[in-house]
Structure 1
Amino acid sequence: MTTKAYAALLRGINVGGHRKVPMADLRALLTELGYGDVRTHLQSGNAVFTSVPTDEAALETRVSQAIEDRFGFPVDVLVRDHAYLRAVADACPFPAASLEPKQLHVTYFANPVTAADFAKVDAERFLPEDFRLGDRALYLYAPDGLGRSKLADALGRAARGVATTRNWNTVAKLAELTASTGQE
């Protein structure tokens, strides 16, 4: 049976001791749901697994509901396949190879985003910080890191819907892990 590799990006878990989801428990849960080749990356809610090819939204709903049932609180989950993750990494408009990973981030959105969504953000006011839009993604260059980024705050206020951000190391690692998991 042909399988496809996916990454599940959990939003807002294991931050400051709140909404704890141990990665071993997350791996067990995904395995119980019938997914294969389950692996996690870091403690911040990144899981890779294989499944028969299916709709990403259906996977998101299923994983999110299982997490709420198991851990007792809701967690937004975005699921993306390897091809999408690779395309986002390849389309980076900033020179990723010459930047420190803490300087470059990708925010993944549940739905497409457009320039109109962020039209009220005066990007020039935040220079040298900068951002560009991609396919359901926003690339953020924050030379002093995400924690000190004023542009990230402004973009966060302008964003609509479910979104979750990963640093460049994680973006690249998820593309790599999904490439080496299952069959495409």
Structure 2
Amino acid sequence: METNGMTVWVALLRAVNLGVRNKVPMAELRERLAEAGLPGARTHLQSGNVVVDSDLEVAPVIRAVVRESFGVDEPVLVRSRDRLEEILDANPFPAAARERPTLMRVVFLAEHPSPERVKRLEEHDDVRVRDREVYIDYRTGVHGNPLNAAMVARRLALHGTERNWTTLTKLSELAKTF
């Protein structure tokens, strides 16, 4: 997990670049992060995925930069590079990840959900909770599916942000380049 005494972090910004809402240009974000003490940050796609090598507590730094520079105040969820690998390895739906990676999703939570809420959520065949991650196999499609990240957040009473399997594997590959 460490490189030169620092940790490689994968930061997932919640609710950025959704249509015309919460615009955060990734090139400008990288510049602002460098100014805030996170040089060399790399981004993936426009949906708020940042990989950075730092000994700082990166979530509050990134959240402050996004709030002050872009006027967006949303949670930033972070996992270490090693933890992301564990999350990928723990996937309870490996066939879905292979066969339909854009329909296989993980919701990253800020906190551990209560066991009672997890039990009710896992009554759905396509949902499994492991630690602070919720795995969802959307099977036939995301849009219009009543089983979605918003429903998960409501049922668990926790905020989270969702990424598809393709994005997560790309972030894992990017994190390994540090």
Q: Same fold (TM over 0.5)?
A: yes
Q: 1:139 aligns with which of 117, 135, 151?
A: 135
Q: 1:19 aligns with which of 4, 19, 22?
A: 22
Q: Specify the alignment match of 1:46 in structure 2.
A: 49
Q: Specify the alignment match of 1:78 in structure 2.
A: 77
Q: Specify the alignment match of 1:174 in structure 2.
A: 171
| 8 Å contact kept, 2:153–2:160 | no
In structure 1, distance between residues paired with 2:165 and 2:123:
21
Q: Specify the alignment match of 1:7 in structure 2.
A: 10
Report the Cα offset of residue 28 of structure 1. Answer: 0.8
Instruction: Give RMSD over aligned pairs.
Output: 1.9
Deviating beyond 3 angstroms after TM superposition, the runs of 4 or more aligned structure 1 residues are 118-124
What is the total number of aligned residue pairs between the two structures? Answer: 173
In structure 1, distance between residues paired with 2:87 and 2:129:
10
Distance 1:91 1:172, change over 3 A: same
TM-score, structure 1 as length reference: 0.85
Specify the SS of the correspondent of 1:102: coil
TM-score, structure 2 as length reference: 0.88
Report the Cα offset of residue 60 of structure 1. Answer: 1.3
Which structure has more relative contact order (CA 8 Å, sep 6+)? It is 1
Q: Which runs of 5+ in 2 are unaligned?
A: none
Identical pairs, percent = 35
Specify the SS of the correspondent of 2:143: helix
Q: What letter matches 1:16 in structure 2?
A: G
Distance 1:98 1:7, change over 3 A: closer
Q: What letter matches 1:113 in structure 2?
A: P
Q: Specify the alignment match of 1:116 in structure 2.
A: 116
| 8 Å contact kept, 1:107–1:139 | yes
Q: Which runs of 5+ in 1 are unaligned?
A: none
